[in-house]
Amino acid sequence: MDAGSAKRNGVALTEKQRIAWLRLIRSDNVGPSTFRDLINHYGSAEAALAMLPELSQRGGSTRAVRIADERDALRELEAAHRFGARFVGIGEPDFPPALREIDGAPPLLAVKGNMPTATRPAIGMVGSRNASISGAKFTAMIARTCGEAGYAVVSGLARGIDTAAHRASLATGTIAAMAGGLDQPYPPENIGLLSDIWDGNGLAVSEMPFGWEPRARDFPRRNRLIAGISLGVVVVEAATRSGSLITARLAGEFGRLVFAVPGSPLDPRCEGTNGLLKDGAMIVTAPDDVVEALRPLAEPDLFRPRPAVPPAEKSNPLSTPPDDAERDHIVDALGPTPVEIDDIVRHTGLPISAVHSVLLELDMAGRLHRHPGGLVSISMLD
């Protein structure tokens, strides 16, 4: 496979757009899915920013929504520049092509290192932090084989299996997905490895702000990046309750291949991987097993550039918000049980634009909950 054959299409953001995008994603109650809906509804990040206070108020919030200040966005952009990093938007040429296809893809990634690595087909590798010698050795064998076949190896910079995967693919290209800001690596003992990654053929990526210290709840987001960037995920030595199984589950939800290396039934580190095999994961007993399974997925046009959020923002005329009766009808149709948006439209008989408008209001008020598969529910007011 020609590792450089992937097409690098896309449209670059202007600096004005990049600042507005950064402000929007850093504002309260704006996650990746909300960001996309706001851009699609209002046509640009600037227009969306102007509407946030009104949306929050109409959604029932009694507190003013915090909107990221332009000066804060400029400071973060300057911090990235000083650090040797930059922000890449979802529709730009250097954004990982497989990642832009997932639901709720991050609109902006902070990146540092060898940018061509971002657009290569990739394989994720995760596993136990307390890896065995044989587990780390077999991980390195798979990583080297995949790297020599033209794949970037994606992992989470953790101890054990992650470290073995990164080190074995330093020469061919590796991507470190981080739970905190690019300037807040974890664990501390892998700071040297991270430097080797971005000073060589590798790349570090994060969707978190500079200065953000990783917390426990940030690691599933990191796992989501690993699964989203990759065509498939290999799990080596994972206990029954582990972040590696979260990565495998997300990979399955994204339509990626899930591989597992079998282990001894007597080793607790292998309970999770053996369980994946029972659930239908692809067995890996040799590094070529992964390369052969990935081959049909590595065609250059598999992930054609189809930005989830148009980077070339357009000026949309602002639609008239729903009236109070329509808003009440939509809110009454919702509850703590997740439902599909299409079902809300059918149940209420109202235009989809009105439904989306009310959902944005609830979202900005902090009352909307988004679930896998595009389902939504709301918190009921006291």
The answer to the question of residue 2 being in a domain is no
Same domain for 157 and 83? no
The pair of three-digit structure tokens given for residue 349, joined into one six-digit string? 């008989």
Residues 43 and 148 in one domain: no
User: What is the per-residue pLDDT across 320-346, written as a single tens digit (0 to 9) for each?
Assistant: 778 889 888 988 889 999 999 999 999
> The domain containing residue 49 runs over which residues?
15-88
The DSSP symbol for 307 reads -
Residues 83 and 156 both lie in one domain: no
- Domains held by the chain: number: 3
Asked if 123 and 52 sit in the same domain, the reply is no
| CA end-to-end span of the chain | 59
Please say if the pLDDT value at position 152 is more than 70.
yes
Question: Around 91, how many Cα atoms within 13 Å sit in the side-chain half-sphere?
Answer: 17
> In this structure, are 122 and 28 located in the same domain?
no
Q: What is the domain-level CATH number for residue 159?
A: 3.40.50.450
Residues 127 and 54 reside in one and the same domain: no
pTM, entire model: 0.88
What gap in Å lies between CA 312 and CA 17, rounded to an integer?
Answer: 9
**CA–CA dist 263, 277 (Å, integer):** 10
Q: What is the CATH number of the domain that holds 350?
A: 1.10.10.10
| pLDDT for 302 | 54
Q: Is 84 exposed, middle or buried (0-12, 13-18, 19+ CB in 10 A)?
A: exposed
Residues 201, 328 within the same domain: no
**Average pLDDT of the residues in 141-155:** 97
Same domain, 68 and 110: no
Q: Which two tokens stand for residue 187?
A: 């664990």
In the chain, which residue ranges form alpha helices assigned H by DSSP? Answer: 15-25, 32-42, 45-58, 70-83, 133-148, 161-168, 191-199, 219-229, 243-253, 271-278, 287-294, 324-333, 341-348, 352-364
The pLDDT of residue 373 is: 79
Query: Is residue 70 domain-shared with residue 106, that is, in the same domain?
Result: no
One domain, residues 81 and 108 = no
